[in-house]
Structures are given as structure tokens and as C-alpha cells.
């Protein structure tokens, strides 16, 4: 089945095509028709299965087909997410899939000043993506009313329970109109979650899918513990190795991708960014330059990278650790394809260490630590036993920690080369 077989309108199909989407995932095949029919939905699915697209696309289509003839935008769709990282990703998805619909979305979350968020709300929006605490806060201040909500999505319900948000969610539900379409997603369905779903849904359809949870054996994975301020230094250090012909680097945000590109260019490394704020022609040009190796480093956000399919890609670097474990599996799955070998490096700062634990739990193995890390951060927990098992010969990323520490020998050993001869750099002139 293809997306054009799901009765989607042309503006959305065009956006999906530009995102590189052709074949829907299992949850998208099951959920999109249900939502288009106006039915409530209970989904048992983890992030990484494509569920954001599964609810965003049909909601965008329904909103587009039922636009009101009025000047002021009303909040007609509310998506509640447990974390700001996921909320941002959801909003980027709505922007990407709805770029030709004229519909507007806004994301709000705590931990930052509220004025830019309230200003955006007052300018008007069709879709609001929110974390529970900030949503209730702005409702109490009178900035937000939920009386016009037609579509309500509760995402990652079991994480809401784990994070203590259930009482906040119940308050939000009480403020919603009785007549609405509701979509409920949870990775697990314990008794408490089923009880919560029963307060939200009316005669729902059910869908259930299994997420991707394993990594290919052809991909060697290695982990660098470092500090946030040293990530760009570490990235530059690694990319100056002549053995890395091209690399796909992942950042969490569009702003972060642009910042990394600026720093790499300053270091003399040819790099381009690809993300949702880039026009389609700019994104296609960046991808073409990367494929023909005019650009050696492509820095991407997850949503923009979904259309990237390069069989010869040998290196993936997680500049930011994804907060969703399945995202890690998808990222590193872009290398080691068609029987070829690949290498995935991950830079982990202190705040990201819980994400690594979640990833290792999902893939059911430890990620080996880098034996040589010139920008190492102190580790407050015991290092993984995988550190002693990390390969030190052949196509690996690390030299023995007792090797000579001059720049050329360290950099030469990043790829397991035994020589310490300086080599001509592939990345062009400085400056």
C-alpha cells in the first residue's frame, strides 16, 4: 500500500512526497482511515513506529476540509505530550505534513519564558501541542481556552503516568468539549492506563503495532561521554580524519543543526544542514551535494532525515542523543545497509545519560565506550562492561588508551590505522 491509496488530499500527499514518504508504516495504514472517518482511536504504539504521522496527517486533512469562514483562528486541535522534546518533534511534524494546507501550529512547554508562547497563541493557531503543566498554567492565566477543540490527542500516556502527570491530564480532559474526536496512544496498557482511556474515548477503534527494537549486526556502535561545550570540538576532531569520507550527523533541533554547520565550516569542513526550515530546493541541493560528496557532512534533524536513503553511507554520528530509544535505532539504521559495514558514534553529555540507558534497554545490549576520547567527561556511574570489549583493530574507532598522545597518532588511530603519519586533509581550505 502507498500513501496515495489512503484517500489523502493533494496538499498533504505533496508534502509527504517531499518528506520522502512513500509507503505507510503499519500503524499509519491502520490509523489514518479510522481517524479520517471521525472515530475515536486507542493505539498501543511506541514512538518510532510512525504514530505522529498516523494522527497528524488525518487531523490536518479533517481540519483543512472543515475550515471555518472566519478571520480569527481558533484552537481546534490539542495534542498533549509528556516532554518538551517530543512536543517539539510533534509540532515539526505538523508543520512538515501541513505545509501546503495553510494551517498553523504552536508548541508550548515549561522551563522557558512564556511570553513568546503566549504571543504566538494570541496571533492565532489551529493546532496546539503542549506539555500538561504549561498548558494548565496558561489556561489558568486566561491565555488559552479549550472550548473550540474538535480533535484531542493524548500521546505517550504511560509516560504521563510515570512522570506524575495523570492528575493534570484529568484536569485538561474536564475542560474539553464533550463533542470531540479523541485519539489515545500508549506503549503499554496497564490497568491505570486503560481506566484513563475510558474517560477519554467513546467506542474507540483499536490499533496495535510492535516497534523496531534491534540494530543491525553490520553497524559498529561506540559511545563518547563528553561535556556539552566540548561536543563541537569532539565532532571536528573526528571529522578531520581522512578515513571519514562522508558522515550524517544528527541534532535534536533545527537551530542546533545550523549551529553545528557554522562551526564545522569555520573549522574548514564542508557541511550543510537539512531540516524543516529549509526550502525544498535547498534540501534537495544539500542532499545531492552529499550524495556526490561535494559536501562531506550532512547535519540533519530526524524528521528531515527520513527521506534520506544512501546505500554507501558508512558513518552516522549522534551529536545529540535522541530522547526516544526507537529514534536511535532508526538513525543508525541509515548505515550498514545492503550487507555493507557501518559505524555509529554517539556523543553523550551528563543530561543525556538516561537516554542511553533507555536505548540500551531497548536494543538489549550495551554500547561500547570509546577507548580514546580526547574530550572525555567524568562518569559518575560505573562504566559499561562493554568498554573492555570494544574492538581495537580493523575498522574501529578507537586506539589503545596507552598509545602516544600526539595529534597525528591519536587521529590516525581513530580508524584503527597503525600509522602516525600526517595526511593531507580532505576537507579543503581553512576559513
Q: Which of 136-145, 175-184, 310-319, 367-376 has the lowest mean pLDDT?
A: 310-319
The answer on 354 and 260 residing in a single domain is yes
Q: Which of 54-63, 67-76, 257-266 has the lowest mean pLDDT?
A: 67-76
The answer on 316 and 242 residing in a single domain is yes
The answer on 276 and 144 residing in a single domain is no
* Alpha carbon distance 357, 371 (integer Å): 19
The answer on 190 and 238 residing in a single domain is no
Condensed to tens digits (0 to 9), the pLDDT of residues 150-200 reads: 999 999 888 888 778 889 999 999 999 999 999 999 888 888 888 999 999
Q: Is residue 283 part of a domain?
A: yes
3-class SS string, 119-182: HHHHHCCCEEEECHHHHHHHHHCCCCCCCCCCEEEECCHHHHHHCCCHHHHHHHHHCCCCCCEE
Domain encompassing residue 345:
219-382
Q: Is residue 291 part of a domain?
A: yes
Short-list 80, 78, 16, CA closest to 53: 16
pTM: 0.64
Q: Is residue 194 part of a domain?
A: yes
Q: Is residue 37 part of a domain?
A: yes
* Alpha carbon distance 283, 254 (integer Å): 13
Do 280 and 211 touch, CB atoms closer than 8 A? no
* Alpha carbon distance 248, 235 (integer Å): 12
The answer on 340 and 248 residing in a single domain is yes
Instruction: Please return the burial class of 354, using the count of CB atoms within 10 Å of its CB with bins 0-12, 13-18 and 19+.
Output: exposed
The answer on 323 and 303 residing in a single domain is yes
Q: Which of 8-17, 28-37, 129-138, 407-416 has the lowest mean pLDDT?
A: 407-416
* Alpha carbon distance 339, 337 (integer Å): 5
The answer on 366 and 233 residing in a single domain is yes
The answer on 280 and 192 residing in a single domain is no
- The C-alpha cell of 128 is what? 496546539
Question: Which CATH number fits the domain that encloses residue 317?
Answer: 3.40.50.300
Q: How far from the centroid of its chain's Cα atoms is residue 373's Cα?
A: 26
Say if residue 408's pLDDT is above 50.
no
* Alpha carbon distance 300, 320 (integer Å): 11
Grade residue 306 by pLDDT with cuts at 50, 70 and 90. Answer: low
* Alpha carbon distance 89, 100 (integer Å): 19
The answer on 251 and 150 residing in a single domain is no
DSSP assignment, residue 425? -
Which of 15-19, 67-71, 209-213, 226-230 holds the top average pLDDT? 226-230
The answer on 29 and 81 residing in a single domain is yes
Q: Is residue 262 part of a domain?
A: yes
Give the 3-state secondary structure of residue 265. Answer: helix
The answer on 303 and 176 residing in a single domain is no
The side-by-side arrangement of strands in the sheet containing 105-108 is: 105-108, 127-130, 77-80, 151-154, 181-186, 41-44, 205-208
Q: Is residue 411 part of a domain?
A: no
Grade residue 241 by pLDDT with cuts at 50, 70 and 90. Answer: confident
Mean pLDDT of 319-345: 86
The answer on 225 and 204 residing in a single domain is no
Between the CA atoms of 139, 144, 149 and 155, what dihedral angle is there, to the nearest 10 degrees?
-60
Per the structure, the count of domains in the chain is 2
Short-list 335, 327, 361, 362, CA closest to 48: 327
Amino acid at each position: 500500500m502507498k500513501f496515495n491509496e489512503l484517500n489523502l488530499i493533494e496538499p498533504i500527499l505533496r508534502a509527504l512526497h517531499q518528506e520522502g514518504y512513500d509507503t505507510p508504516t503499519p500503524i499509519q495504514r491502520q490509523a489514518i482511515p479510522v481517524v479520517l472517518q471521525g472515530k475515536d482511536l486507542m493505539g498501543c504504539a511506541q514512538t518510532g513506529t510512525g504514530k505522529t504521522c498516523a494522527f497528524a496527517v488525518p487531523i490536518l486533512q479533517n481540519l483543512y476540509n472543515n475550515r471555518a469562514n472566519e478571520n480569527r483562528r481558533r484552537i481546534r486541535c490539542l495534542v498533549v505530550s509528556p516532554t518538551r522534546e517530543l512536543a517539539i518533534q510533534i509540532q515539526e511534524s505538523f508543520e512538515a505534513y501541513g505545509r501546503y494546507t495553510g494551517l498553523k501550529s504552536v508548541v508550548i512547554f515549561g522551563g522557558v519564558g512564556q511570553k513568546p508562547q503566549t504571543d504566538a497563541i494570541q496571533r492565532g493557531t489551529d493546532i496546539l501541542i503542549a506539555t500538561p503543566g504549561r498548558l494548565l498554567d496558561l489556561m489558568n492565566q486566561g491565555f488559552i481556552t479549550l472550548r473550540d477543540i474538535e480533535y484531542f490527542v493524548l500521546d505517550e500516556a504511560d509516560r504521563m503516568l510515570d512522570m506524575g502527570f495523570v492528575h493534570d491530564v484529568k484536569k485538561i480532559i474536564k475542560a474539553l468539549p464533550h463533542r470531540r474526536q479523541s485519539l489515545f496512544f500508549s506503549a503499554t496498557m496497564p490497568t491505570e492506563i486503560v481506566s484513563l482511556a475510558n474517560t477519554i474515548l467513546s467506542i474507540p477503534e483499536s490499533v496495535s503495532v510492535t516497534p523496531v527494537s534491534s540494530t543491525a549486526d553490520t553497524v559498529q556502535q561506540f559511545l563518547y561521554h563528553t561535556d556539552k561545550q566540548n561536543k563541537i570540538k569532539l565532532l571536528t576532531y573526528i571529522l578531520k580524519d581522512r578515513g571519514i569520507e562522508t558522515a550524517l550527523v544528527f541534532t535534536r533541533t533545527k537551530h542546533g543543526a545550523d549551529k553545528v554547520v557554522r562551526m564545522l565550516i569555520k573549522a574548514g569542513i564542508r557541511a550543510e544542514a537539512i531540516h524543516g526550515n529549509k526550502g525544498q530546493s535547498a534540501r534537495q541541493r544539500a542532499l545531492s551535494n552529499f550524495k556526490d560528496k561535494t559536501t562531506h557532512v550532512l547535519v540533519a534533524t530526524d524528521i528531515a532525515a527520513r527521506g534520506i536513503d544512501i546505500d554507501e553511507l558508512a558513518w552516522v554520528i549522534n551529536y545529540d542523543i535522541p530522547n526516544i530509544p526507537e529514534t536511535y535505532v532508526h538513525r543508525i539504521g541509515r548505515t550498514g545497509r545492503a550487507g555493507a559495514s557501518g559505524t555509529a558514534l554517539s556523543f553523550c553529555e551528563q543530561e543525556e545519560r538516561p537516554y542511553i540507558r533507555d536505548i540500551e534497554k531497548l536494543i538489549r545490549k550495551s554500547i561500547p565506550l570509546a577507548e580514546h576520547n580526547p574530550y572525555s567527561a567524568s562518569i559518575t556511574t560505573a562504566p559499561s562492561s562493554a568498554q573492555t570489549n570494544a574492538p581495537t583493530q580493523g575498522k574501529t574507532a578507537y586506539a589503545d588508551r596507552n598509545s602516544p598522545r600526539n595529534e597525528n597518532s591519536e587521529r590516525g588511530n581513530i580508524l584503527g590505522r597503525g600509522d602516525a603519519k600526517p595526511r593531507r586533509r580532505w576537507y579543503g581550505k581553512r576559513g
